[in-house]
Amino acid sequence: MRWHRLKAIVRKEVIQIRRDLRSLLLIVAMPLLLMLAFGYGVSFDIKHIPVFVYDREGSQQSQDLLKHFQASEYFNVVESVASYSALVQALDAGWCRVAIVIPSDFSEQLKTGGPVGVQALLDATDNNTANVSIGYSEAVIQTYNRKVQLEWLQRHGQSTRQPAVSVDARTWFNENLESTANIVPGVIAIVMAVIGSFLTSLTIAREWERGTMEQLMSTPVTPLEVMVGKLVPYFVIGLFDTALCAGIGIWWFHVPFRGQWSVFVFSSILFLMVVLSLGYFISVVTKSQLAASQTALIATFLPAFLLSGFIYPIDQMPAVIQLITRFIPARYFMTISRDVFLKGTPIALLRDELLALGLFAAVLTLLATRAFHKKLS
């Protein structure tokens, strides 16, 4: 690899990116747009879920629990019905998404300290909303539990120690139940996948389409120099966008960052290498900007969106799909990003994910260099 040739390619590529309005827009607007869209509008924070209740006891305690539901911004108790069948009808008709049944021995059981079963029926046609609803219901009940426990302890003259903590894993690291916290680290992965693969998918194809490839091939430049030279600018752009998204997440949406920056940066670099070389490889193979960009979108954006655990939790997917997700690099980075952000997971515990990314990066880089020949066919 010769420095002067590498520098020439990098410089040329930077000039071209600078003059290409489309790339610039994508580089700056896409991270902002996605962050804001997911942070606000398309947020998975489902609020004011309509709730029907069938309070079989009608005691002060049961009303108290329902008040907790009503007070939560996530639920909106629409109506209290007098029979189980009315509840089912409401669910079926779509008047509510959640139906709650409070047993007739609710206060009795509370008093004796035995376990109380509150039944929640969910309309699971929208799997995501259903999931979120369970989480929220559990959280509401949790809060209620604490209050009851606290009162119970106080009544029995014991010191107010922290009541036993919930076992709800879903919201464990996301105490405010705000999926924004979950989404931001995920959006970073998606932005990186798109910037990385979409933009690079155009680079080689553009040379073919504009007729500049033939002359470039007639120079002593090596395939490795072309690849590295073309990817370096996008690598920098990718890091910039990663930082931009992380910044917006942390300072605008107040998503906590509990991990180590070095771990986050290191894994970002690995993931960028994966998506950049994937985009480049696609570009080399397709030789057409349209085909390359579409392939890149299908190969990275969609999987990063649908199969990485960003929207649908992987452990709830059918087994076959779960198997497929193992071949989606974004899946690993999604896990790393979320873990580092929300849990502060140390690098040692992310070994498998990092190894997977490293493997993808190595294979794809190799493929990309091998695929490019300085010959017309």
CA 92 to centroid of chain Cα atoms: 31
Are 282 and 201 within 8 A, CB to CB?
A: yes
Of positions 126, 151, 214, 352, contacts other proteins by CB under 8 A: 214
- Of 41 and 211, which has the nearer Cβ to other proteins? 211
Q: Assess 7 for contact with other proteins (CB under 8 A).
A: yes
| Part of the chain binding other proteins (CB under 8 A), chosen from 13-21, 52-60, 62-70, 359-367 | 13-21
Of 253 and 372, which CB lies nearer to other proteins in the complex structure? Answer: 372
State in angstroms the smallest separation of the CB of 284 from other proteins: 16
| 218 is a contact residue toward other proteins (CB under 8 A) | yes
1 binds other proteins (CB under 8 A): no
Among 68, 287, 343, 374, binds other proteins (CB under 8 A): 374
Stretch that binds other proteins, among 121-129, 174-182, 212-220, 270-278 (CB under 8 A): 212-220
- Name residue 316's amino acid: Q
Q: Residues 215, 251, 318, 319: which binds other proteins (CB under 8 A)?
A: 215
**Two tokens, residue 139:** 């959280």
Lookup: tokens for 213: 């490839």
Of 183-191, 219-227, 258-266, 294-302: span binding other proteins (CB under 8 A): 219-227
Residue among 32, 36, 130, 217 that touches other proteins (CB under 8 A): 217
Within 8 A by CB and 6+ apart from 143, the residues are 68
In the complex with other proteins, the residue whose CB is nearer, 191 or 213, is 213
Part in contact with other proteins (CB under 8 A); list of ranges 24-32, 218-226, 311-319, 324-332? 218-226
CB of 376 to other proteins, least distance (A): 5
Q: If DSSP codes are grouped into helix, strand and coil, which group holds residue 263?
A: helix
**128, 222, 294, 322: which one binds other proteins (CB under 8 A):** 222
Applying CB under 8 A, which of residues 1, 16, 304, 366 lies at the interface with other proteins? Answer: 16
Positions in 184-203 near other proteins (CB under 8 A) = none
- Applying CB under 8 A, does 211 fall inside the site for other proteins? yes
DSSP state of 249: I
**Which is nearer to other proteins, 67 or 373 (by Cβ)?**
373
For the record, the structure tokens of 322 come out as 């779960």
Residue 150's Cβ-count burial label (10 Å; 0-12, 13-18, 19+) is middle
Q: Judged by CB under 8 A, does residue 115 bind other proteins?
A: no
**Cα atoms in the Cβ-side hemisphere of radius 13 Å centred on 261:** 6
Part in contact with other proteins (CB under 8 A); list of ranges 4-12, 38-46, 70-78, 85-93: 4-12
Q: Is 159 in the site for other proteins (CB under 8 A)?
A: no
When asked if residue 12 is in the footprint of other proteins (CB under 8 A), the reply is yes
- Amino acid letter, residue 139: A
Q: Is 99 exposed, middle or buried (0-12, 13-18, 19+ CB in 10 A)?
A: buried
Measured CA to CA in angstroms, residue 65 lies from 37, 58, 82, 102, 174 at distances of 34, 11, 17, 9, 23
Is 19 a binding residue for other proteins by CB under 8 A? The answer is yes
In sequence order, the β-bridge partners of residue 98 are 51, 122
Report the C-alpha gap between 48 and 39 in whole angstroms. Answer: 18
Lateral strand order in the sheet of 119-122: 75-80, 49-55, 98-102, 119-122
DSSP 21-67: HHHHHHHHHHHHHHHHIIIIIT-S----EEEEEEESS--HHHHHHHH
Phi-psi group of 157: left, alpha or beta (phi > 0 → left; psi -120 to 50 → alpha; rest → beta): left
Of 220 and 318, which CB lies nearer to other proteins in the complex structure?
220
**Binding of other proteins at residue 2 (CB under 8 A)?**
yes
- Specify the 3-state DSSP secondary structure of 183: helix
Which stretch in 15-23, 73-81, 236-244, 352-360 sits in contact with other proteins by CB under 8 A? 15-23
Length of the chain: 377
Candidate residues 41, 115, 157, 220; the one interacting with other proteins per rule CB under 8 A:
220
User: Should residue 68 be labelled a site residue for other proteins when binding is judged by CB under 8 A?
Assistant: no
Residues lying near other proteins in the complex (CB under 8 A): 2, 4-5, 7-9, 11-12, 15-16, 19-20, 210-212, 214-222, 374-376
